[in-house]
Structure 1
Amino acid sequence: MTNPMIELLSEKGTLLADGATGTNLFNMGLMSGDAPELWNTEEPHKIKALYSGAVEAGSDLFLTNSFGANAARLKLHDAEKRVHELARVSAEIARDVADTAGRRVIVAGSVGPTGEIMEPVGTLRHSLAVEMFHEAADGLKSGGADIGWLETISAPEEYRAAAEGFALAGLDWAGTMSFDTAGRTMMGLTSADMVKMVGDLGDQAPLAFGANCGTGASDLLRTVLGFATQSPDRPVIAKGNAGIPKYVDGHIHYDGTPELMADYAVMARACGATIIGGCCGTQPEHLRQMREALDTRTMTEPPSLEEIADRLGAFSSQSDGTGEGAAPARRSARRRRAAS
């Protein structure tokens, strides 16, 4: 059977994913240091509002509030025995929102990193990591998620362990990594390395792969261009931050405007991504303009690095991590629109 996400992607050509989870929950009153996943049972109406905000803004796909639903992270909140429950409930609330949307919307079960360093660099064993990912994936599947969604991964060992966990749960999945260290992941992978790794996973490979979070929309698009040069055989995901984080009055604020994110969405599609959303800082107002831009604007050729920097802001590093191509400095000229 074809996965619902792939069916909808085949029908529409491009899918708009959702925006931030943390940013929007903090706006609802979540305090720094609290576990967002506990709100699935303590504040379910707020989690429903989070999901509904994305759907009402036009998202075709949204992620569940389960990023930190694994034993290692929840142990910090004395909730390590509630992984399956909290993952399941996050998906059940999402299923209800999707099923009453009046159109087809995909529920993607968010799975984040364990927060531990895997062997041989760290102490987390492969078998234990697989067990943690399997527990989360099984909970998400029980709650009705259409697909698992691995995100913000840095280490290839952890990506492979998650692939095995999803396979054990019998849940199709998509998976992104964060290229936030001079064009590489924190553990040193380049965009080309990721394409090869995904291809080597065989029957356990994700249905789609890509990049999320990182240091800003410009860097993320450069990574997507790197994927494209490898001619990947599966859909590419782009889920970039809404600008660059800055401290304002003691809180983190992302400076990306809805107009900037609309330009980013159109450019991401031109770079080769077909599943496009936002990460940190991306709110419903950003998504609404991204939806409109994807529906009404075109860009027929991939943008150059200079064009990306001119419209979305300077790159954080001179290289994309592969040693090819230097990023241009920030332009003083007024930012142009990605398409008319």
Structure 2
Amino acid sequence: MTDPIRDLLSRKPVLFADGAMGTSLFALGLETGDNPELWNVDHPDRVAEVHRGFVEAGSDIVLTNSFGGNARRLMLHQLQGRVGELNRAAAEVARNVADQAGHKVLVAGSMGPTGDIMAPVGALSTAEAEEAFAAQAEALKEGGVDLLWIETISAMDELTAAVAGAARTGLPIVATLTFDTHGRTMMGVTTAEAAKLAAGLPVPPVAIGANCGIGPSQLLESVLGLVAAAGPEAVVVAKGNAGIPQYRAGHIHYDGSPDVMADYAALARDAGARIIGGCCGNTAAHIRAMVEAVGTRPRRDPPSLEAVAAALGPLNAPAKTDGEERRERKRRRG
């Protein structure tokens, strides 16, 4: 199997992923409650504009606009019968932008969680989840992606099902989980457990990492944990939010400026991440600052947690109210 990530990493010590598709689409007119995947067919020019901005900022990898493109998530919008169409379109839009870039750009098929709780706690069986992920993965492959990028996972059984479904395509797989304070996912998975599970899967992901979460400090704590658990040869991904999400007047805002995320990117590289990008709140300006910081700042020893906190803020995020916690969980599940 061709591994485009390792091939590109053999020529570049660090690869840059993109920033936040959702944040960018909201800036272009997407409304709360709208389905982002529909924009792949209704407004492909706007989706392409987002990809193009990240490519021009220096991204080596762009993720397709298909985070919620599995049938379980699309069911919320009565779109479960359009999995193939919407995911192929997402891949084709990104592929067209990547092929016109002035440098090598890989297209990664974004695959987010189902939003359902898996059995025996919930109603979604492993087989059903695997089929949902497999259908999405096949459509993304048909649309021309180079690899599949499973992201924002919090449960080990869902990670297993997602990788199994994606593996049917034969494409390389990247998997990132979302860890909160103290390096645990919403379902209690630690960085060490995630690294061990990923390495032991029948088709191990070529890279494992952390995305989303609370803020850049907590993201780097998770990266340090993953590097320690996965070993020096592992390809670890850092894709953190632009600061801490805050709820103001019914909308989510992020307090991380491009300068803050530049510091995050340099620290992520020093921590051992080989693929660095941004999740919620990160615009093309944030990615450009990351690329410049990693390219100009000297490499240092892996940072201590104290150094991370001093540069990016405390590791323990302010406690959320019950209402904020409910909104955060809703945001994760879409």
TM range (shorter): over 0.9
Q: Check the 8 A contact 1:213/1:241 in 2, yes or no.
A: yes
**Could you give the per-residue CA deviations for residues 179-213 of structure 1, whole angstroms, max 9, x where no partner exists?**
025420111110111111011113x1111001000
The corresponding residue for 2:110 is 110
Distance in 1, Cα, partners of 2:288 & 2:248: 25
Distance in 1, Cα, partners of 2:249 & 2:115: 28
User: Could you tell me how far 1:5 is from its partner in structure 2?
Assistant: 2.0
User: Could you tell me how far 1:88 is from its partner in structure 2?
Assistant: 0.7
The corresponding residue for 2:57 is 57
Distance in 1, Cα, partners of 2:82 & 2:181: 33
1:11 alignment partner, SS class: coil
The corresponding residue for 1:264 is 264
Is the counterpart of residue 139 in structure 1 residue 142 in structure 2? no
Is the counterpart of residue 171 in structure 1 residue 171 in structure 2? yes
Unaligned runs of 5+ in 2: 319-334
User: Could you tell me how far 1:249 is from its partner in structure 2?
Assistant: 4.4
Q: Check the 8 A contact 2:23/2:280 in 1, yes or no.
A: yes
**Could you give the per-residue CA deviations for residues 11-58 of structure 1, whole angstroms, max 9, x where no partner exists?**
101001100011111001101111100000000000100110100111
1:259 alignment partner, SS class: helix
Q: Check the 8 A contact 1:19/1:283 in 2, yes or no.
A: yes
Residue pairs, 1:1-340, within 5 angstroms:
1-180=1-180, 182-202=182-202, 204-232=203-231, 233-316=233-316
**Count of aligned pairs:** 317
User: Could you tell me how far 1:316 is from its partner in structure 2?
Assistant: 2.4
Q: Check the 8 A contact 2:196/2:230 in 1, yes or no.
A: no
Q: Check the 8 A contact 1:215/1:316 in 2, yes or no.
A: no
Q: How big is the alpha-carbon RMSD for the aligned residues of Structure 1 and Structure 2?
A: 1.3
1:114 alignment partner, SS class: coil
Superposition TM-score, scaled by structure 2 size: 0.92
Distance in 2, Cα, partners of 1:3 & 1:152: 22
The corresponding residue for 1:328 is none
Distance in 2, Cα, partners of 1:182 & 1:29: 36
**Could you give the per-residue CA deviations for residues 72-119 of structure 1, whole angstroms, max 9, x where no partner exists?**
111111110101111111000111100110211010100000000111
Distance in 1, Cα, partners of 2:250 & 2:163: 38
The corresponding residue for 2:326 is none
Residues 257/303 of structure 1: CA separation in 2 closer, same or farther (3 Å cut): same
Give the letter for the 1:220 counterpart.
Answer: L
Give the letter for the 2:24 counterpart.
Answer: N
User: Could you tell me how far 1:162 is from its partner in structure 2?
Assistant: 0.8
Superposition TM-score, scaled by structure 1 size: 0.91
The corresponding residue for 1:327 is none
Give the letter for the 2:43 counterpart.
Answer: E
Distance in 1, Cα, partners of 2:10 & 2:38: 35
